């Protein structure tokens, strides 16, 4: 089933879109099926869960952190992940930078934006992003490559579209203002129910869980299900 789902998704995907298989609560076997069907990036929400799987699967696939990162998990996270998609505050940036420096790693990061300005959500507000980037300029072990957003919890296409559009606008504005200083090129938005709308609005990373693996049989608490 997983292979079939992926084949259909990838066959309809425009070129140059990175599909991240959101694998929270999924086992090693399911991840391996996804990889053999053509998935190149696994997204995990929890460091501990990622570490358990990483120890078995290793670097035959890329690993993105797509859940909220707590400071006490940074040291482990920098060892596993190839990209942190959820950088959302200065404190965390400094701590990530320090741990990366210790192991001599340059970590690609995306800034998470709370694009619908929802009070309970993680992420910077859109209007905070540029001043944030000015503050993290000196953190040489982090490579700021773009934006990630969850978007609002709604089935309303117009609301979602509007939110993705605003995030794309911000992404382009940063590229104009500071793009010559950075390798600014990724815009991660859209999940199973919204990736088509996100791509239409300019996403080039989509994070797909349910549409690949089927419904989650147990729910773990995670940033967007809080």
28-36 vs 47-57: helix axis angle to the nearest 10? Answer: 60
The residue nearest ligand PLP at its CB is 209
DSSP-assigned letters across all residues of 39-65: --EEEES-HHHHHHHHHHHGGGSEEEE
Backbone angles phi, psi at 11, to 5 degrees: -70, -25
Q: In the bound complex, what is the minimum distance in angstroms from residue 68's beta carbon to ligand PLP? A: 9
Beta-carbon contacts of 182 under 8 Å, excluding residues fewer than 6 positions away, are 143, 144, 145
Q: State which residue, 133 or 190, has the beta carbon closest to ligand PLP.
A: 190
The gap between the terminal CA atoms of the chain, to the nearest Å, is 29
For residue 130, give the 3-state DSSP assignment. helix
Q: State which residue, 77 or 208, has the beta carbon closest to ligand PLP.
A: 208
Q: In the bound complex, what is the minimum distance in angstroms from residue 189's beta carbon to ligand PLP? A: 9
CB-based contact 84:107 (threshold 8 Å): yes
Q: In the bound complex, what is the minimum distance in angstroms from residue 99's beta carbon to ligand PLP? A: 22
Q: State which residue, 85 or 99, has the beta carbon closest to ligand PLP.
A: 85
Q: In the bound complex, what is the minimum distance in angstroms from residue 188's beta carbon to ligand PLP? A: 8
Q: In the bound complex, what is the minimum distance in angstroms from residue 138's beta carbon to ligand PLP? A: 28
Largest CA distance in the chain: 47
Q: State which residue, 131 or 217, has the beta carbon closest to ligand PLP.
A: 217
The binding site for ligand PLP (CB under 6 A) comprises 22, 24, 45, 66-67, 150, 191-193, 207-211, 222, 224
DSSP-assigned letters across all residues of 171-206: HHHHHHHHGGGS---EEEE--TTTHHHHHHTT-SEE
Counting Cα atoms < 13 Å in the Cβ hemisphere of 99 gives 17
Q: State which residue, 146 or 209, has the beta carbon closest to ligand PLP.
A: 209
Q: In the bound complex, what is the minimum distance in angstroms from residue 96's beta carbon to ligand PLP? A: 18
Q: State which residue, 83 or 208, has the beta carbon closest to ligand PLP.
A: 208
């Amino acid at each position: 089933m997983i292979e079939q789902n992926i084949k259909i998704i990838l066959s309809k995907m425009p070129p140059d879109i990175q599909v991240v298989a959101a694998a929270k609560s999924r086992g090693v076997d399911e991840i391996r099926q996804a990889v053999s069907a053509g998935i190149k990036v696994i997204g995990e929400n929890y460091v501990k869960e990622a570490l358990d799987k990483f120890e078995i699967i290793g670097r035959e696939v890329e690993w993105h952190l797509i859940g909220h990162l707590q400071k006490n998990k940074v040291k482990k996270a920098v060892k596993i992940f190839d990209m942190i998609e959820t950088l959302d505050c200065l404190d965390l940036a400094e701590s990530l930078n320090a741990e990366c420096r210790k192991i001599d790693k340059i970590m690609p990061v995306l800034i998470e934006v709370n694009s619908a300005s929802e009070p309970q959500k993680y992420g910077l507000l859109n209007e905070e992003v540029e001043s944030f980037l000015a503050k993290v300029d000196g953190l040489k072990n982090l490579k700021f490559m773009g934006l990630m957003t969850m978007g609002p919890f709604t089935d309303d296409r117009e609301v979602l579209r509007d939110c993705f559009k605003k995030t794309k606008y911000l992404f382009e504005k940063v590229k104009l203002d500071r793009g010559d200083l950075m390798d600014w090129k990724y815009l991660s938005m859209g999940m199973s129910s919204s990736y088509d709308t996100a791509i239409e609005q300019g996403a080039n990373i989509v994070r797909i869980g349910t549409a690949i693996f089927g419904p989650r049989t147990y729910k773990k608490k995670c940033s967007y299900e809080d």
